[in-house]
């Protein structure tokens, strides 16, 4: 045991006091050297961070209940926000049954909603219906979409400009309602939103990344036309809306994989590095959340083993290595999300698959989901007065169900094109048609589509 004399204690205290005074002077000098704008920015960032910490438990409760009420406003009047939210709450409570991501856009007797609100989106009821009167709490989010044009992210190579990506500021009007139009058999949308919120929640709780690993990377795979890209864009939009209390800015990048492969030898990996360098600089701002979509990622991450065995150019190998390195580099940031899609998961490099936290299969819709897609299409045509609805709801339901059975195995993209193609073959007498006419035309289109597919399969196998 060491013993320090009282004299030594006094000397140590004087040294500590002198050190504190010196540090205080240094801090004052640092503060005086910063501009007024810098100090305001620091204060704003600190305030936003404190607000984010307070918002986390409220959001956790909303995610636990699975109920969000998102209000797309024409204008956000600061002095009427509370009153507007109260009227939204009362209006939703007047509804009877809420299901299948309901969208409300008619406010006949609500003067304030008519003036300021475009649409109200209610929850993600992918499994169960809910009675409006049973709602105990409601997480209401008021927001306004941006309408600016996306920015082109370019690099200059020997005087030539190459477009690598497009960047949108979210929430953006181009991505509005994408989330609600998507129909899946499993609760994929809830799973994706819960994953993103958990990543952010773990960061705010200062979870040690060396103990619990997280790459903030999602891989969606499956056949073409089943909604992978649309789901990514819809997810980006919803994150920017539901997490708006946690961040000040949301950016969505869509990477153009084709432009990465430059005609200049070895420039492909450099292009990718340049893109991720810019992303990294943005991520240093903790109040900015960045979402990157790499569509058809197999074009960038083809298996290195198969590339070597098939004598693929070495430039492709460098691109794969660069992509993996950049994903590892970005995982140190908690304010980024990487979304990838693939039609050919079997040729993707195993290292990329291993780096994906969430790997989800997006396949063709089931008969039940096909029924919901068709019903939404018919409701849209009825609301826009292109179909005169004389059918009873049960009769319409039975016919839609039979049509869904005939459509089994078709992609969501094909299903949503079918009503338009069928409508174009109907000879109209009036400015509208009857449901029975569209049913018959869609049935004929289904037969034609299947015959075409059978022919193509026979042609490809011969």
Q: What is the pLDDT of residues 381-413, one digit of tens each?
A: 988 889 887 666 788 889 999 999 999 989 999
Q: What is the pLDDT of residues 256-266, one digit of tens each?
A: 776 676 555 56
CA distances from 245 to 47, 50, 172, 386 (A): 11, 10, 17, 41
Q: Are the CB atoms for 305 and 259 separated by under 8 Å?
A: no
φ, ψ at 104 (rounded to 5°): -105, 125
User: For the chain, how long is the longest CA-to-CA vector?
Assistant: 107
**Which architecture does CATH list for 151-361?**
3-Layer(aba) Sandwich (3.40)
CB environment 200-231: b (16+ within 10 A), e (fewer) = bbebeeeeeeeeeeebbbbbbbbeebbbbbbb
pLDDT tens, residue order, the chain (462 aa): 333 344 444 444 555 555 455 554 444 444 444 454 555 455 556 666 777 788 888 888 888 876 789 999 999 988 999 999 999 998 988 887 776 567 888 888 888 999 999 999 987 655 556 666 666 678 899 999 999 999 998 776 666 777 889 999 999 999 999 998 898 888 899 899 999 999 999 988 888 888 998 999 999 999 999 999 999 999 999 999 999 999 999 999 999 776 676 555 567 788 888 899 999 999 999 999 999 999 989 888 775 665 555 555 567 788 888 899 999 999 989 899 999 999 999 988 899 999 999 999 999 999 999 999 999 899 889 888 898 876 667 888 899 999 999 999 899 999 999 999 999 988 777 778 888 899 999 999 998 887 776 655 655 555
Q: Considering the entire predicted model, what is its pTM?
A: 0.83
Pairing, β 249-255 against β 160-169: antiparallel
For residue 413, give both structure tokens. 């993209």
Q: Give the whole-angstrom CA distance, residue 124 versus residue 187.
A: 9
Q: Are the CB atoms for 200 and 217 separated by under 8 Å?
A: no
**CA torsion, points 378, 413, 339, 259, in degrees to nearest 10?**
-130
Does the CA dihedral 191-197-200-202 come out positive or negative? negative
Q: Are the CB atoms for 118 and 72 separated by under 8 Å?
A: yes
Q: Which residues contact 204 (CB under 8 A, 6 or more apart)?
A: 52, 53, 56
Q: Give the whole-angstrom CA distance, residue 230 versus residue 339.
A: 11
Domain extents in the chain: 24-143, 151-361, 367-461
Q: Is 291 helix (H, G, I), strand (E, B) or coil?
A: strand
């Amino acid at each position: 045991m060491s013993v320090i004399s009282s004299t030594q204690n006094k000397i140590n205290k004087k040294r500590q006091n002198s050190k504190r005074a010196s540090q205080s002077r240094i801090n004052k000098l640092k503060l005086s050297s910063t501009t007024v704008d810098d100090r305001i920015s620091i204060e704003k960032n600190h305030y936003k961070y404190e607000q984010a910490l307070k918002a986390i438990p409220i959001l956790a409760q909303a995610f636990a209940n699975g109920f969000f009420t998102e209000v797309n406003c024409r204008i956000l009047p600061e002095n009427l926000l509370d009153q507007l939210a109260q009227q939204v709450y009362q209006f939703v409570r007047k509804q009877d049954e809420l299901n299948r991501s309901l969208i409300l856009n008619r406010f006949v007797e609500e003067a304030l909603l008519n003036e300021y609100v475009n649409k109200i989106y209610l929850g993600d009821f992918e499994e169960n219906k809910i009675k409006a009167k049973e709602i105990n709490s409601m997480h209401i989010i008021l927001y306004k979409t941006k309408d600016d044009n996306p920015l082109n992210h370019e690099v200059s190579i020997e005087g030539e400009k190459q477009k690598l990506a497009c960047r949108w500021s979210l929430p953006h009007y181009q991505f509005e309602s994408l989330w609600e139009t998507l129909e899946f058999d499993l609760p994929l949308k809830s799973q994706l939103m819960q994953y993103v919120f958990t990543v952010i929640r773990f960061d705010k709780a200062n979870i040690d990344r060396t103990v619990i690993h997280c790459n903030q990377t999602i891989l969606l795979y499956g056949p073409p036309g089943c909604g992978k890209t649309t789901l990514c864009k819809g997810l980006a939009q919803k994150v920017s809306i539901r997490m708006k209390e946690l961040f000040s800015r949301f950016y969505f990048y869509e990477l153009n994989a084709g432009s990465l492969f430059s005609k200049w030898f070895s420039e492909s990996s450099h292009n990718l590095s340049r893109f991720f360098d810019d992303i990294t600089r943005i991520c240093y701002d903790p109040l900015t959340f960045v979402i990157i979509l790499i569509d058809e990622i197999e074009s960038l991450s083809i298996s290195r083993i198969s590339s070597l065995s098939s004598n693929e150019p070495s430039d492709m190998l460098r691109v794969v290595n660069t992509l993996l390195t950049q994903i590892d580099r970005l995982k140190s940031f908690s304010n980024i999300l990487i979304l990838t899609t693939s039609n050919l998961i079997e040729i993707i490099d195993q290292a990329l698959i291993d780096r994906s936290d969430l790997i989800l299969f997006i396949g063709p819709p089931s008969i039940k989901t096909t029924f919901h897609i068709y019903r939404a299409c018919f409701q849209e045509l009825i609301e826009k007065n292109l179909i005169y609805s004389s059918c009873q709801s049960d009769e319409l339901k039975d016919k839609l169900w039979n049509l869904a059975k005939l459509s089994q195995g078709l992609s969501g993209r094909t299903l949503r094109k079918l009503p338009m193609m069928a409508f174009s073959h109907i000879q109209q007498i009036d400015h509208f048609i009857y449901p029975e006419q569209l049913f018959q035309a869609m049935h004929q289109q289904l037969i034609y589509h299947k015959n075409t597919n059978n022919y193509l399969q026979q042609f490809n196998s011969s």
